[in-house]
Copies of this chain bind each other. A is one copy, B any other.
Amino acid sequence: MSVGGPTGDDLVEMLAALANPIRLRIVAALAGRRDYVSQLARELGVSRPLLHMHLRRLEAAGLITGRLELSDDGKAMKYYEVTDFDLHLTASAVAEAAQTLTRPDPGKGPAPKEST
C-alpha cells in the first residue's frame, strides 16, 4: 500500500484541484515557503478574488491549509502552506480507488440504448 488510500471521490477532488495551471503554481509557490494571500497574489500575478477561489479549492481537497494570524502591526494575514500529500498514480492504484466511487450513479439499470 503506497497511498493508504483516499476514496475514489476524494481522489477525484484532489486530481481536479491539481489539474489547473494556476493551482499548480500555487502549490509550487507554497512548496517551499508559506505565504499570505495578498503577497501570493502579487507573486503569481492574479487577482485576489481569483486566488481566493483557487485556494479554497486546494484547501477543500486537503492539499493546502491556511490559518489566520495577526502580524506585529495588527493586520490579519491568512497564511497558507502545503500539506504532506503523496499521491502515487498507476492503473492499479486508480482501479482500487475507483471501487469507492459514489459520484456518477449510472442508475445501475440498463445502459442507455440508442438504435432499437
Residues of A within 8 A of B (CB): 8-9, 11-12, 15-16, 18-22, 24-25, 27-28, 30-32, 41-42, 44-48, 82, 84-92, 94-95, 97-99, 101, 103-104, 106-112, 114
| B21-A89 in contact (CB<8A) | no
Residues of B within 8 A of A30 (CB): 91
| B89-A85 in contact (CB<8A) | yes
Residue of B nearest to A63 (CB): B91
| A27-B88 in contact (CB<8A) | no
| A27-B91 in contact (CB<8A) | yes
Q: Which of B8, B46, B88 contacts A24 (CB 8 A)?
A: B8
| B46-A103 in contact (CB<8A) | no
